[in-house]
Structures are given as structure tokens and as C-alpha cells.
Structure 1
């Protein structure tokens, strides 16, 4: 059987070539010192740049959409403003039309005052003497004025009667005024007399009141003087009684019974206590002497206890010195043993190192040994 050359599978060859290319790219990335130490991922940066561009495009599209919405809103706002302006215009036109139809100047209540044609359109102030508009205050018809000459005689007779009537009324008024003046004078004289009488009576009442007040003041002054005299007499009596009470009181006589308290025989009232008696002083001195003896006994016992404590402390110090000396000797022996052990251990390590250098590590690596590293990315 003869050996023949078989064609390599195309897919397998392509896969092998692709693996080789990927391996070369991986080696170029791994063996590149700057790329490896700085950690720059070019593909990652490219991806970030693409993502940034996509984000910027999306933001741009969003801004454009917002701008379109804004323009649309502005147009709607302008349309609404135009509708509002038209509605206001129509409302103003309707108001003006209402004024023209329902609020004409001649329809107001004050039109008679402001009407420029009021004089021409108005009726005359006086049509005849019998015009009902000509009243007493119209100033259109006066006494003695008459447009009808035929009735002038009747007017004269009427004026004569009126004059006679006015004369009669004037005389009567003068007589009434004179009578009223007489009555007024009489009334004034009567009032003056009555005022004089009232003044006299008031003066008498004032004089009587002053006399009564003076009598009352004299009586009141006498009463006050008597009360003061009695008060001074009572105060003098009270002072004499107080002096007598002080002279005969337990405070000045120094009565010892007043210092006894109801709380017990051993209690006294401090504010009234006048001091101890001779028996009490003697008892106190005796008690002080006993207390002095007791204090001496306690001081002696305390001195004995302190001496005993001193002896105990001395014995404890001696025992501590002995224990400390034994501990130092033990530490010295322990340190000497450790030094000997460390020396033996150092000798053993030195011999082991000599053995490793002379017997075990005899084949030293060469430069060719180190060149086999970093030849693959795996």
C-alpha cells in the first residue's frame, strides 16, 4: 500500500489559522509592557466612544424632539392668544354696541342738565299770569305788576286793603311787643328780688354751718386730746409692768429650772440655759479623764499593731527577696540552656546548608533555561 498525500480539511485549517492569529494578538497584548502595566483596553475605549456617540445621538434626537414639541406648544400658545384677543375684541364690540343701543346720553337721568338744546326745546318760563308754574318762589310775578290794564283798579283796591291790613297788624304787633316788654321787666324785677332773698338765706345757712363745724371741731379736738392722754397713761402703765416683769423674770434671776426640757432630763432649752452646775462640771471632767485614759489605751494598742505589721512586712520582704533570687537563678540557667540549644541548632543549620550547596544544588540553571519562559500566552 502506497503513501498518498491527503488534502487538509479547509474548515480545520481555517480554525487553526484563526487560533494562531488570536494567539499572536494575545501575545502582542500580554508581552507589551506599556499596555500590560497601564492597563489600557483599546477595545473597551472604542466601545465607550461608540456608546458615547450613541448617547450623544440619542440626546440630540431627544433635544430635537423637545424643540419640536416646544415649537408646537409655542404655536398653540400663539393660537390661544389670538383666540383670546379676538374674544376680547368681540366682547368690547358687544359692549360698545350695547352702549349705543341701551345707554344713549339722552337716556340718562342727567340729560336735562347736559342737553345742549335744552333751552331751544324747553317751554317758556312764563306763558301768562295764570300759569300754574309761576309760584311764590318763581320770581316771575310781582306785586303791582299786571299785564291786563282792565283789572288795574281792582288791583289798587286790593293793594289798599292789603296795606290797611298790614298797618293794623303792625300796630297790634307793637302793642303786643310793648306788653311783652312790661311783663319781661316785671319778671326780671321779681327774679332779682328772689335772688337777693336766696343769697341772704344762703349766707345765713353758710354762717350756721360754719358755727356747727367749729363746734364739732372743738369737740373732736377735745376727744382726741382725751384719747391721747389715755393712750399715754396706758403706755406708761404697760412700760412699768414690763420693767417689773423683766426684773422678776427667770432670765435676770437666772433660774436653772427654766432650762429643763420636756423632751427628757438630758435635754435643755438652749435659749434659756445659764450654764452647768458644779456637779455637772465635775461629771464632765471625770468623763474627760476617762476618755483620755481610753485614748491612751487605744494609742498603745495601735502602736503594738503597727509594730506587728512592721515585723510582718519585714518578713514578707525577706521572703520576696529569697523568691526573687531563686527566680533570677532559674532564669540564668534557662538562658544558658537556650544559648546551648541555639548554638547546636546553628551548627546543624550550617552543616545542612553546606550539604545542600555541595551535594543537592550541583546543577545551576543557565541563560538558556530562563529563555524558555514567556514564549506562550498560556
Structure 2
């Protein structure tokens, strides 16, 4: 494949050079033989103007008029066109010949390259089988080595896993050895990620302290209950004394009201008797008409 790519690159470079040479030849031909002065549209006003002389033997063609010089005869345009046509024909023929030569060279080069490619392909076909056999053998050896290496790695990994499991089973972590959690900062400190809990003695001590706290709490609750009962009894006695005092007050007020009612009744009776006596003593009572005669006299 690399050889074919190299051949294609050479062919492409040759074709690019041929195109470049062809374009350069065409450009040179256009610049030399296809100028703007030779076109039909160039300077139409001068071409339509009357010529300076009617013929080469015109009587107006004096020597002092300077109308005729070497190479300025009336057949100049036909002669130039004939010369240009010959040059154009020669250039075209040269260009065609150059193109044919370039094409022949290109064809010959391609044939040479094709022959080289076929030769290289035959050499590659001749050497491909041994190379493929060598590559196949090499790949087979590599696969066998990889499988053997993988087998050894798997066996080593299993041995490492068994050793790790054995170490974990017989180590301090799973055996819950309390010494592994001892901290270097003091006996009252532990390593959190190694601590497996408190010992039986520590648990018994905590339970004893909890029991003492429960008893102390019950004692305090009993004392509080006794205080509450004393307070309730004092409140009841105070309420009973208050009710008794209110009842005595009500009795006193009731006796006082009865005595006052009796006194008022006696006074009312005395007033009625006095009023009756006054009515009997003052039988001639003045009327309203009597009072209307006050401060009046006859004129």
C-alpha cells in the first residue's frame, strides 16, 4: 500500500507538471500572437477614417509629406496578417506537437509506473506468504505468552486474596482485640476506626451507675410527691378555713340584717303612730287653695 501511494504521488506530480507546461505555452502564445492590437474591435475610429493616400503612387504623396516610409505600404495589413497567420500556424503546430510529445511522455511514464507496480505487486505476492506465516506464528506465540501471563496473574491474585482473608480472620480487627483500639494519647482515649465497643467490666460499671441514677431519681420523685401532698393538704386546710370564715361572715351579716329589719320595722310603727297622732291633732289641714291666697289683698 505504501508503494502504491508513492507511485500515485509520482503520477500526480507528473500530471501537474504537464498541465503547468501546457498552460505556460498557451499563455506565451496569447501574449505574443493574440495581442489586442490585432483584434477587429481595436481602434475602430482609425480604421474607418480615410487613408492618408489612395495608393502607393498617389500624386499627393510628396517627399515632404512623409506619408510613405519603409514598410508602410498599403499592403502592410495583408502582409502582417499573412505573417501572423504563418506564425500562429507555426505556434499552433508547435503547441500541438508539444502536447503530443507531453502526452506520449505521460503515457510512457504511466506504462513504466504500471510495469513497476506490477513488478512490486509480484514481489509483494512472493513475500506475502512467508510474512503472513511469520506474523501468524508471532501472534500465536504472543497469545500463548499472554494466556500464560494471565494464568500466573490469576493464580497470584488468588494466593494474595487467601492470604488477605487469613490475615483478616486471625487479625485484631475481626477478633475484636481491645488492645488494638488503645490510643497513644492516653488510656482514656481510643482509636475510633478500631474501637469495637466497651468491655464487660465497663458495661457493668455503666449499668451500676445507671441503677444508682434510677434510685436517686425515684427518691427525688418520692420527695417531690411528699412535698406536693403537703402543699395540697395546706391548700385544703386554707380553703376550709376560708370557707368557714365566709360562712361566719354570712351568719353575722344575716343576724345584722335581721336586727336592722326589726329596728326599721319598729321605727316605721312609731312613725305611723306619730303620723296618726298628728292627723288627729291637726284635723284642719290647709288645702292648695289656701296657699294660693298668700300675698294677695283687695284694692
Instruction: Report the TM-score range of the alignment, normalised by the length of the smaller protein.
Output: 0.3 to 0.5
Which structure would you say has the larger RCO, counting Cα contacts within 8 Å and 6 or more residues apart?
1
